[in-house]
Structure 1
Amino acid sequence: MKRKKHTVPEPPPGKEWVTPKRMPDTRVAVFVIPDGAPDDVREGIARQRIAAVDGACPCGGAVYVLDAEGFWCEHEDDCPGLDRNLLVAMREWRASGWAGR
């Protein structure tokens, strides 16, 4: 009897799959750190990736929900991985004319 091949869907554009340490049978899509990104963008994305894999951010924020749909981390207010801080950094990068090159 032939085994059915399991196909893994492609992650959304600009993202890649990572496997959380405490959930080895789960994949979570996280942003790829873009080449040429400024330090605050790189650090923000890196912290979100660390939180997804390790279950906590270096700022001390714990991951509360982690499943195939994604995760939620309660970052400190000044953490570059906090969505609102990362979005500001990404907007500033885009406004500078460098994003997308």
Structure 2
Amino acid sequence: MKQLRQSYTVETLQDGTRALVVGWEVPEDAPLAVREGLARRAITNSGRPCPCGAVATLPSRAERRRANRAGVVLRRAVLHEDDCPAADDNLAQALVDGGWSA
């Protein structure tokens, strides 16, 4: 079974604060459904909408400050359309079918 590798980037938000963005590298030898799902997730991680219309919304500045003071890591949820390759269930199945694990 092949293993996906995580990627890490530091992004500067509109208010000047910085955030660590955790994603996945898109392996060239993965099946198309896996590559497409991961690529779409990278699109939403960069602040752009997914082709299915899903968007990632950041917590408010106050929420980010509270979390920072408390040492809490915030996570964003992105709700992709049911037929989108980046939707959790679809990507998980594509990984299994292609012999990959996260």
TM-score in terms of structure 2 length: 0.68
1:34 matched to which residue of 2? 27
Which of the two has greater helix per residue? 2
The percent identity for this pair of structures is 30
> Deviation of residue 65 (structure 1)?
4.5
Poorly superposed stretches of 4+, deviation over 6 Å: none
Is contact 1:52–1:71 with CA below 8 Å preserved after alignment? Answer: no
Q: Which amino acid aligns with 1:34?
A: P
Which structure 2 residues correspond to residues 27-66 of structure 1 after superposition, within 5 A? 27-65=20-58
Higher relative contact order, chain-length normalized (CA < 8 Å, sep 6+): 2
Q: Per-residue CA shift, 1:45-98, capped at 9, x if unaligned?
A: 00011111124212101213567543211101100011110000000001xxxx
Is contact 1:28–1:70 with CA below 8 Å preserved after alignment? Answer: no
TM-score in terms of structure 1 length: 0.68
Q: Which amino acid aligns with 2:82?
A: D
Matched pairs, number? 84
SS in 1 for 2:76: strand
Is contact 2:11–2:21 with CA below 8 Å preserved after alignment? Answer: yes
| Structure 1: gaps (5+ residues) | 1-12
SS in 1 for 2:23: strand
